[in-house]
Amino acid sequence: MIRLAAFNWTHVVACLLVGVTAVLLSFGALVTTYEAAMAVPDWPATYGHNMFLFPLAEWLNGPWDLFLEHGHRLLGALTGLITLGLAGVVWRSSTHAAVRWLVVAAVALVLVQGGLGGARVLLDDKTVAKVHACTGPLFFAVAVAIAVLSRGRAPTASHEVATRVPVALLVAAYLQLVAGAQLRHLDASVEPATFHSLVGLHIVGAIAVTVLTVASAAVTASTEGSPSARLWSRGMLVLVGGQLFLGAGAWVANWGVPADIIPASWQLSEPLRARSVWAAAVVTGHVVLGMLILGGAVVLAIESGGFGRRAAAAAAGRRAFA
Amino acid sequence: MTNTPSFVHRSCYATLAFAIVVGAAAGCGKTQPASFRLNMVQATKTSAPEADLERPWEKWSQDRQSQVATILLAMFGTPDEPLALAESGLDEAKLRLAAGPVRSDIVGRKNGLYREHCVHCHGISGDGMGPTAAFLNPYPRDYRPGKFKFKSTWRDAKPTSADLVRVLHEGIAGTSMPSFALLAPTQVDALAEYVRYLSIRGEAELALFTYAEQELGGDEQLPTTREFLVDEILTPIVGKWAAAEESQIPIAAVPAGVDFGLPASDFANRESVARGRVLFLGDGGCVKCHGVTALGDGQANDYDDWNKTIVEVSKEVAGSLDASRQAPTGELSPEKLAEHRARAEWLHAFVEVLEGDALRPRTIPPRNLRQGVYRGGRRPLDLYRRLYTGINGAPMPGVGPSGPGGKGSVADAEIWHIVNYIRSLPYEFDGELGADRPMIAKDRF
């Protein structure tokens, strides 16, 4: 007979949380791409219905905007429930303090995030939307950290430089999402000068993330760190490389080929189509990949010993329990 | 190794602090309700200090600006609550669909279309100075002077509704202006109406400032009577828009020997293309700008009207500022000195406006006609219209008559031959240039 208690529930639920959060954030990114945030004017109800009782047919057959926004809300609620479930599991197990604290943070973040989502709708305020877009990835990062730390395998401690670079990458990857969120939530009152600084910041951020990713790969390869850190840092190279392409694609999808830098014979001969599926896919994909890079950076930072003895102890503690 | 956690902590705090700073920079607190911006270049241009000014210049000019703003508010409402006077001929229901913040109404219909699709380029006031504008070349259209390029009407006439809808539907190839073909026709319709609204509003604003400059003495206020605002300001503008339908240029019958169903290189079109080439190199006067090679390498230092306004004003201001700096102020009478000071104040304010409220002027190069990318559409009919009237607001002149009953430099029917020649250019083997292959290998066939 399988003994349920022997099963690493914390890890399983945390992985589920990571997966559902990834879908939730992708929906959120689509909501922004299609400016569907105000597709449902009320909150927490949906067009007067209890959110969970909103007719399925109306949701699936209604306007695309409504599909996205209501779907985002349902996924948000699901994420909240899974987070509470995770808290329950952790509460009953003897998981290490680091994981416990992260779960507390996750619960706090998911509640705040739900509230921000509601405030964004009720106040119809883009500033709230920007904050909402920055908290989402933060929550995702915490979920990934819980999943990794609850896994029951201690990362090998490595050389100091080999831990610092990945942590710096993690920070840069998050800041890059913050800057990106500001660019995505343009409203009528944004001053051109502010916008230009943000674009500059986002480009500098892209350079920083790229350099730090390459540096991570280099230091993890050259020191006797854990093999999985080495593997992750190489995977990050692929993700970040793809992200640079998507970033350029997002620029083109929004503003065309920059005429001042690119020769005229490279200009598109057809106008771009607003709301075309590929444009939406490129722009949204840029956000989603940004989130995945953040998640990867969390794993890499932990794998390379970035959270030091606490993380090692957390993982080891989990193993003792299992 | 031991100090790693504290490094991590420091990094995390720094991240948080940075996020807060960015959040604050991006506009703290609740987003302000959107409001129209004044046309500051026009406002400043028309407020040169008058000799009999009794108040400080700054107070006086601000007062005038707020008069104009108040009048515009009464006539056109706000970006969230647009207003259409009956005399404006605008459809308020359509405007409401396009205006305001992006949201779905109670029946699930999306409102706020302009802010969803256009505002980041064209700006909330339609001044072509949205946040992204500086990155784009050409700049997005400034609707306020009421000039449009790609249309079926006489050069100086307004575009018809169908023209605006067509630009929105097709987009403008070779520029960042996208096609909105994937939006519902009612949405495109509402957007076209909103463009007209912003344009009429912008023209009314220009008219008010110009009137104030020309007709008002030092401390006079703009009249706010209905007769003045509607009859004198609004009606002439609306009249031009209403006349658009009747202002379409005549389209000559396609002459024999021109077959647009076949490629320009086809034998059937041979003579027509040769004729078009002769006109292009001769009577059409095209080589002055597009060059003999049609690569667009002729005169290339010109500006379009929107940029030219800024260039000219900047030059004038810089000149006056120099003159004012060099003027001896020692022996001026107190009145003259006050006048001189007011003028200097005005010029300095102007410099600031030109730096802060206008985009850096850009030249408009003549098109490279061997690329086969046409902003106003690539159907022969589109090219015919471009050649007939030229491109309004751009240096490109027309070869047709400038108005009904006039005479152009090329006969109407002959224009079709030039169209045919232009169609052939991307594929032409140009022996004269010593090239034995097409100039641009961008063949679509």
Pair A86, A1 in one domain:
yes
Other Cβ atoms within 10 Å of B8 Cβ, number: 21
Average pLDDT over every residue of B283-310? 90
Pair A14, A115 in one domain:
yes
CB spacing of A269 vs B177 below 8 angstroms: no
Which residues make beta-bridge pairs with B104?
Answer: B110
Of B131, B175, B371, the CB nearest to A256: B175
Is the Cβ of A50 closer than 8 Å to some Cβ of chain B? no
Kindly identify which residue of chain B lies nearest to residue A195, measuring between CA atoms: B131
Is the Cβ of A199 closer than 8 Å to some Cβ of chain B? yes
Tokens of B287: 């080589």
Pair A149, A37 in one domain:
yes
Pair A6, A149 in one domain:
yes
The whole-angstrom separation of Cα B376 and Cα B197 is 22
The whole-angstrom separation of Cα B223 and Cα B68 is 10
Residue to mutate among B3, B102, B122, B125, with most A CBs inside 10 A, is B102
Would B203 be classed as within a structural domain? yes
Give the pLDDT of chain A (322 residues) as one tens digit per residue. 445 556 788 999 999 999 999 999 999 999 999 999 999 988 888 888 888 889 888 899 888 999 999 999 999 999 999 999 999 999 888 677 888 999 999 999 999 999 999 999 998 888 899 999 999 999 999 999 999 998 877 666 566 777 789 999 999 999 999 999 999 998 777 888 889 999 999 999 999 999 999 999 998 887 666 788 888 999 999 999 999 999 999 999 988 888 777 777 777 888 999 999 999 999 999 999 999 999 999 999 988 877 665 555 555 554 444 3
DSSP letter for A46, please.
Answer: B
Pair B315, B278 in one domain:
no
The whole-angstrom separation of Cα A254 and Cα A279 is 8
Pair A7, A78 in one domain:
yes
Give the distance from residue B53's alpha carbon to the nearest chain A alpha carbon, in angstroms. Answer: 34
Kindly identify which residue of chain B lies nearest to residue A158, measuring between CA atoms: B1
Other Cβ atoms within 10 Å of B364 Cβ, number: 21
The whole-angstrom separation of Cα A38 and Cα A101 is 35
Please report the pLDDT score of residue B13 as a whole number.
58
Kindly identify which residue of chain A lies nearest to residue B374, measuring between CA atoms: A269
CB spacing of A39 vs B31 below 8 angstroms: no
Sorting pLDDT into bands at 50, 70 and 90, what band is B434?
very low
Pair B79, B68 in one domain:
yes
Pair B352, B372 in one domain:
no
Please report the pLDDT score of residue B405 as a whole number.
87
The distance in angstroms from the start CA to the end CA of chain A is 17
The whole-angstrom separation of Cα B443 and Cα B263 is 12
Q: Is B438's pLDDT higher than 50? A: no
Q: Residue A254: CB partners within 8 Å, gap ≥ 6?
A: A279, A283, B132
Q: Which residues of A touch B117 (CB under 8 A)?
A: 274
- Reported as a single tens digit per residue, the pLDDT across B367-400 is 999 888 999 999 999 999 999 999 999 999 999 9
Tokens of B420: 């045919």
Residue B381's domain comprises: 267-302+367-444
Please report the pLDDT score of residue B51 as a whole number.
72
Would B333 be classed as within a structural domain? yes
| Burial environment of residue B106 by CB neighbours within 10 A (0 to 12, 13 to 18, 19 or more) | exposed
CB spacing of B26 vs A188 below 8 angstroms: no
Pair B329, B227 in one domain:
no
CB contacts under 8 A, A 99-158 vs B, are 123-127, 130-131, 134, 157
Pair A26, A112 in one domain:
yes
Please report the pLDDT score of residue B1 as a whole number.
37
Pair B292, B352 in one domain:
no
In one letter, which amino acid is B146?
A: G
- Reported as a single tens digit per residue, the pLDDT across B180-213 is 999 999 999 999 999 999 999 999 999 999 999 9
Please report the pLDDT score of residue B199 as a whole number.
98
- Reported as a single tens digit per residue, the pLDDT across B324-355 is 888 887 778 888 888 888 899 999 999 999 99
Of B4, B108, B132, the CB nearest to A163: B4
Of B15, B103, B371, the CB nearest to A38: B103
Give Cα separations from A266 to A74, A245, A256, B422 (angstroms). Answer: 44, 17, 11, 20
Which residue has 């956690």 as its token pair? B5
3-state secondary structure of A49: strand
Would B211 be classed as within a structural domain? yes
C-beta of residue A241 within 8 angstroms of C-beta of residue A292: no
Other Cβ atoms within 10 Å of A192 Cβ, number: 17
Residue A233's domain comprises: 156-305
3-state secondary structure of A241: helix
**Count of A–B CB contacts within 8 Å?**
182
- In whole numbers, what is the pLDDT of chain B averaged over residues? 88
CB spacing of A198 vs B171 below 8 angstroms: no
Of B27, B31, B135, the CB nearest to A258: B135
Q: State yes or no: cis peptide before B138, omega within 30 of 0.
A: yes
Pair B202, B150 in one domain:
yes
Q: Which residues of B touch A191 (CB under 8 A)?
A: 131
* CATH at residue B386: 1.10.760.10
Please report the pLDDT score of residue A171 as a whole number.
96
Give the distance from residue A319's alpha carbon to the nearest chain B alpha carbon, in angstroms. Answer: 22
Pair B93, B145 in one domain:
yes
Give the distance from residue A116's alpha carbon to the nearest chain B alpha carbon, in angstroms. Answer: 13
Tokens of B255: 């002459």
Q: 3-state secondary structure string, chain B?
A: CCCHHHHHHHHHHHHHHHHHHHHHHCCCCCCCCCCCCCCHHHHHHCCCCCCCCCCCHHHHHHHHHHHHHHHHHHHHECCCCECCCHHHCCCHHHHHHHCCCCEECCCCCEECHHHHHCHHHHCCCCCCCCCCHHHCCCCCCCCCCCCCCCCCECCCCCCCHHHHHHHHHHCCCCCCCCECCCCCHHHHHHHHHHHHHHHHHHHHHHHHHHHHHHHCCCCCCCCCCHHHHHHHHHHHHHHHHHCCHHHECCCCCCCCCCCCCCCCCCHHHHHHHHHHHHHHHCCCCCHHHHCCCCCCCCCCCCECHHHHHHHHHHHHHHHHHHHHHHCCCCCCCHHHHHHHHHHHHHHHHHHHHHHHCCCCCCECCCCCCCCCCCCCCCCHHHHHHHHHHCCCCCCCCCCCCCCCCCCCCCCHHHHHHHHHHHHHHHHCECHHHCCCCECCCCCCC
Pair B58, B166 in one domain:
yes
Pair A163, A52 in one domain:
no
Q: Which residues of A touch B32 (CB under 8 A)?
A: 189
In one letter, which amino acid is A132?
A: H
CB spacing of A268 vs B172 below 8 angstroms: no
Tokens of B148: 């449009």
Give the distance from residue B403's alpha carbon to the nearest chain A alpha carbon, in angstroms. Answer: 31
| Burial environment of residue B299 by CB neighbours within 10 A (0 to 12, 13 to 18, 19 or more) | middle
CB spacing of B371 vs A272 below 8 angstroms: no
Q: Which residue has the higher pLDDT, A94 or B72?
A: B72
Q: Which residues of B touch A120 (CB under 8 A)?
A: none
Q: Residue B147: CB partners within 8 Å, gap ≥ 6?
A: B305, B306, B392, B393
Pair B313, B286 in one domain:
no
Please report the pLDDT score of residue A93 as a whole number.
81
Pair A52, A165 in one domain:
no
Would B118 be classed as within a structural domain? yes
Pair A117, A211 in one domain:
no
CB spacing of A274 vs B25 below 8 angstroms: no
Sorting pLDDT into bands at 50, 70 and 90, what band is B14?
low
Tokens of A197: 């600084």
Would B262 be classed as within a structural domain? no
CB spacing of B1 vs A157 below 8 angstroms: yes
Pair A36, A91 in one domain:
yes
Q: Which residues of B touch A174 (CB under 8 A)?
A: 15, 19
Would B260 be classed as within a structural domain? no
The whole-angstrom separation of Cα B101 and Cα B110 is 10
Give Cα separations from A284 to A19, A209, A281, B293 (angstroms). Answer: 17, 19, 5, 43
3-state secondary structure of A43: coil
Is the Cβ of A163 closer than 8 Å to some Cβ of chain B? yes
Would B50 be classed as within a structural domain? yes
The whole-angstrom separation of Cα A294 and Cα B307 is 44
The residue among B244, B69, B37, B32 whose CA lies nearest residue B142 is B37
Pair B83, B194 in one domain:
yes
Name the CA radius of gyration of chain B, rounded: 26
The whole-angstrom separation of Cα A132 and Cα B411 is 63
Average pLDDT over every residue of B276-295? 91
Pair B122, B133 in one domain:
yes
Pair A211, A249 in one domain:
yes
C-beta of residue B209 within 8 angstroms of C-beta of residue B68: yes
CA A311 to chain CA centroid, Å, is: 21
Pair A270, A318 in one domain:
no
Pair B288, B309 in one domain:
no
User: Could you give the percent of chain B with pLDDT greater than 90?
Assistant: 70
Would B295 be classed as within a structural domain? yes
Residues in chain A: 322
Give the distance from residue B220's alpha carbon to the nearest chain A alpha carbon, in angstroms. Answer: 33
The distance in angstroms from the start CA to the end CA of chain B is 65
CB spacing of B26 vs A182 below 8 angstroms: yes
Domain count, chain B: 3
ipTM comes to 0.89
Q: Is A152 left (phi over 0), alpha (psi -120 to 50) or beta?
A: left
Q: Could you write out the DSSP letters of every residue in A3-33?
A: -GGGS-HHHHHHHHHHHHHHHHHHHHHHHHH
Which residue has 């709708």 as its token pair? A121
Q: Helix B334-356 crosses helix B305-326 at what angle (to 10 degrees)?
A: 150
Of A38, A195, A259, the CB nearest to B102: A38
Please report the pLDDT score of residue B22 as a whole number.
53
Domain count, chain A: 2
Q: Residue B99: CB partners within 8 Å, gap ≥ 6?
A: B79, B80, B81, B82, B111, B112, B114, B194
